[in-house]
Amino acid sequence: MELFRSHVLICGGTGCTSSGSAQLLKRFEELVEQNGLQKEVKLVHTGCFGLCEAGPVVIVYPEGAFYSRITVADVDEIVSEHLIKGRIVQRLLHKDSVETTGQVRALDDVEFYHKQKRVALRNCGVIDPENIDEYIAFDGYKALCKVLTEMQPQEVIDVIKASGLRGRGGAGFPTGMKWQFARNSENDKKYVCCNADEGDPGAFMDRSVLEGDPHAVLEAMAIAGYAIGSDQGYIYVRAEYPIAVKRLEIAINQAREYGLLGENIFGSGFNFDIDVRLGAGAFVCGEETALMNSIEGKRGEPRCRPPFPAVKGLFDKPTILNNVETYANVCQIILNGADWFASMGTERSKGTKVFALGGKINNTGLVEVPMGTTLREIIYEIGGGIPNGKKFKAVQTGGPSGGCLPASLLDTPIDYDNLIAAGSMMGSGGMIVMDEDNCMVDIARFFLDFTVDESCGKCTPCRIGTRRMLEILNRICEGKGEDGDIEKLEHLAANIKATALCGLGQTAPNPVLSTIRQFRSEYEAHIYDKHCPAGVCHKLLRYEIDTAKCKGCTLCARVCPAGAIMGSVKEPHVIDPTKCIKCGACMEKCKFGAISKK
């Protein structure tokens, strides 16, 4: 076994890769070789560390120096100062990773990580995802060995049931119960499927697990196969995730080479293999039966249920489908026990949950916290609050299927039941923060426009009903809203939720209903006052000149492309609202702050 005095961990997740981390790795490799450090310094290209806002991220151990926003030029200094001379480069350290005394904090003590509990993300940012030996060194495939050599299939299912693990893909169905249904279904062939078709805007939890710890998913799927009596698994992942796809394929080939996938695994007589199927990015293929249709080469649209997939799923055989994050918890449950997992979380929502924290927030990135953590803790203590001193307005959970929660609900403990009671849902784990500059009517329109575009069109309520709702929202945002529009939206939403074929249609009205419920006054302002309080809806904007501040310099009139500004030199100017095209050029050029957007 090789021993190194320094380990340099370089983030290789999608976020940091887009910021140039591959170039950082290349430069580190060049300098390590030039300085003859190959036997002293180990370079590890990891998955996502979580704190995407700080990327590209480099962490050097054993000191634990957390370097953020590193450029290729910085690599030379890290090598010459830190790796050769042993002096930490203070100016490159992340601002929260240094004590007032100048000492480097442990990563767990950094504000972003302090309240997190990493279970599904335990290996992300820690190991090289393309090296199976590193996964094995962190107890990889130990759970599969235990299951195949010490446990009966029903015992495995009983442990998953006792743990309280619920599906992390949206609906929160009990995982053990799903596996039990499939085990009880008698057939000559059964399938284990993984849903990695993460389609929610702003969500990247599953992608990051696949990029940072792909073997955890492979191992868990093999355990599921043993539990239900299956010898074949499929991972359905969208083709827009090239890094995840590449690392999955590498991991599958490595597992086959080690005899951890294929025939007679661990000499137990159990056979199981996994194949990858690429999706074209259709949001509706996140629905389990639509996903199975797509794997079969059919149009990606949902099937009527019952029968449910556990009875008649992929290729009409009993099938279980869980998402990436659900599988990422399985091995730890087997190794540490059901009671360990159930000790985290709330009464009906056990364990932890990964969220993709984005929007108007200082610390964007991946967050994994115990169920029951409040929205306030995530947004302010982990997320670092709202940028630029702006006021928090709402947080969207659950993506297009979820809802917007206002400041009055910030102390809501996050679990499946509390979020539904508040008018939202867990969903796959997207969490988008909005501030005072966001228009909630426009937000509802954005998400509904997404679901209208992604509807497969199979059922009338979703295909036509959501489009009618979008037409009303468009009218409201254009200043053409009418008395009764809010009631029409609510009526349409109720019918769509009750009659749509699948979860996409049934949940599509949620963003509209939640914003009406929590921000009704904004809808009323748009409809009755023809005014957008946040100043977002373009056709409801108006620009005004404060005559007390206007110096009559004429610059605004000269840049106005519509000739809408009138006034004499050194006299206050005025804007003709009938001519104004609301381009904002006047406000941008005014040197005296005399022009404002209303």
Question: Residue 396: is it exposed, middle or buried by C-beta count within 10 angstroms (0-12/13-18/19+)?
Answer: buried
d(CA 373, CA 543): 43
At 367, the pLDDT band (50, 70, 90 cuts) reads: very high
Say whether pLDDT at 317 is over 70.
yes
How does pLDDT run across 372-387, given as a tens digit for each residue?
999 999 999 999 999 9
At 1, the pLDDT band (50, 70, 90 cuts) reads: low
Say whether pLDDT at 597 is over 90.
no
Say whether pLDDT at 4 is over 90.
yes
**Hey, how many other C-beta atoms are within 10 angstroms of the C-beta on 227?**
27
Q: What is the pLDDT of residue 396?
A: 94
Say whether pLDDT at 527 is over 80.
yes
Distance of CA 273 to the CA centre of its chain: 28
d(CA 251, CA 67): 29
How does pLDDT run across 152-179, given as a tens digit for each residue?
999 999 999 999 999 998 778 999 999 9
Among 76-85, 243-252, 541-550, the range scoring the smallest mean pLDDT is 541-550
Residues contacting residue 29 through CB under 8 Å, at least 6 positions apart: 43
Say whether pLDDT at 577 is over 70.
yes
Say whether pLDDT at 188 is over 90.
yes
Mean pLDDT of 317-329: 97
Task: Give the length of the chain.
Answer: 598
Q: What percent of the chain has pLDDT over 90?
A: 89
d(CA 501, CA 28): 53
d(CA 526, CA 476): 6
Residues contacting residue 395 through CB under 8 Å, at least 6 positions apart: 359, 375, 379, 404, 405, 431, 432, 433, 434
Q: Which two tokens stand for residue 438?
A: 């966001």
Mean pLDDT of 348-373: 96
d(CA 539, CA 553): 28
At 44, the pLDDT band (50, 70, 90 cuts) reads: very high
Please spell the DSSP secondary structure of 1-67, one letter per residue: ----SEEEEEE-SHHHHHTTHHHHHHHHHHHHHHTT-TTTEEEEEES--S-GGG-S-EEEETTTEEE
How does pLDDT run across 478-490, given as a tens digit for each residue?
999 999 999 999 9
φ and ψ at residue 138, rounded to 5 degrees: -105, 45
**Hey, how many other C-beta atoms are within 10 angstroms of the C-beta on 368?**
25
Q: What percent of the chain has pLDDT over 70?
A: 100
Say whether pLDDT at 102 is over 80.
no
Mean pLDDT of 99-126: 91
* Average pLDDT in the chain: 95
How does pLDDT run across 195-232, given as a tens digit for each residue?
999 888 888 999 999 999 999 999 999 999 999 999 99
Dihedral over Cα of 412, 195, 197, 25: its sign: positive
Mean pLDDT of 332-351: 97
Mean pLDDT of 555-561: 95
Q: What is the pLDDT of residue 278?
A: 96
At 3, the pLDDT band (50, 70, 90 cuts) reads: confident
Helices marked H in 164-213:
175-184, 205-212
Q: 271 by DSSP, 3-state: which?
A: strand
Mean pLDDT of 248-264: 98
